[in-house]
Amino acid sequence: MADGLSSFWGPVTSTNEWCEKNYVYSSYIAEFFNTLSNIPCILLALIGLVNSSRQRFEKRFSVLHLSNMILAIWNILYHATLYRVLQQSDETPVIWETLLYIYVLYSPDWHYRRTMPTFLVVYGAAFAIVHSHMQLGIGFKVHFLMLCLLCIPRMYKYYLYTDDLRAKRVAKVYAVTLVAGTLCWLFDRVLCRDSWPVNPQGHAMWHVFMGINSYFANTFLMFCRAQQRGWAPKVVHYMGILPYVKIRKPKVR
C-alpha cells in the first residue's frame, strides 16, 4: 500500500504488496503489524523447543520448533524492510520447513531411511537455486500449496488413529487455525480496499494464526511419535491453557 513516513531502509523492492500501508508508525518498520505479528510464533516455538529438549524428544522436533522460530525472524526482517532479497530469504525457508514436515510425517513408514532425507535435501537445494534465478511468483505459491496438500492427508490419518481426546482437540485446533489463517490471507490479498476506514490486518492475522497452527501441529506430531515409540504420552497444559506433551520413557535395564 502507499507509503506514510520516510523510509530508513530505502525504496521498496518486494514484488508483493500487502494491504497494510507502509511506514505509518515508524521509519524503521515498513509494515508495522505484519512485522510484530510474528512474535507469537517465536514465543510458542521457544516453548515447544524447551519442552522437546527437556524431555529428550527426537532431534527432529527440536529442529522443527527451531525452524519455526527462524522462519518467523526472517519474516520480521522481510516485512520490516520490504526488500526483494529478504522476500526470497523468507519464501525459500517456507519450502524447506514444509519439506521438514513431510519428513516428520512420512518417515516412520519409510523403509529406506537414508533415501528420503537425501531426496528432500536435494529437492530443497534445487528449489532454492531455481527460485534465486527465476524469482518464482505465483509458481512459489502453487508449489507451497502442493506441498501443504501432501501434509494434510497424513495429519488426518494420524487423527483417525488417535484415541486420546486431548490429542484430538490439539489436532482440531491445528485444523481450525489453518482454515482461519488461510481465509485471513485470502481476505487481505483479494479484498483489500483503500476506501476501508479501518484495515482488518488480514495478513498480520495470518501470521498469528499460523504461529498457533505450527505450535499445535508440532504438539500433535510429538504425541503421535511418542505413541509410536511407546513413551506413554499425555497432553497436559501450562497454567491450564497451553497444551504440551508429557512422556514417560521406559527404563533401560
237 assigned binding-site residue: no
For residue 114, the tally of other CB atoms under 10 A from its CB is 8
Residues 63/45, Cβ–Cβ less than 8 Å: no
- What span, in angstroms and rounded, lies between the C-alpha atoms of 173 and 183? 15
79 assigned binding-site residue: yes
18 assigned binding-site residue: yes
31 assigned binding-site residue: yes
Contacts of 61 (CB under 8 A, 6+ apart): 48, 52, 104, 218, 221, 222, 225
Sign of CA dihedral 182, 87, 120, 215: negative
Distances (CA, A) of 8 to 26, 81, 157, 166, 204: 9, 9, 49, 48, 22
SS3 244: strand
- What span, in angstroms and rounded, lies between the C-alpha atoms of 47 and 33? 23
- What span, in angstroms and rounded, lies between the C-alpha atoms of 130 and 140? 10
Residues 104/64, Cβ–Cβ less than 8 Å: yes
Residues 67/100, Cβ–Cβ less than 8 Å: yes
96 assigned binding-site residue: no
Please name every residue paired with 235 in a beta bridge, in sequence order, or none if there are none.
Answer: 245
- What span, in angstroms and rounded, lies between the C-alpha atoms of 203 and 221? 26
Binding residues: 18, 20, 22, 31, 79, 203, 207
Binding residues for Ca(2+): 18, 20, 22, 31
Binding residues for Zn(2+): 79, 203, 207
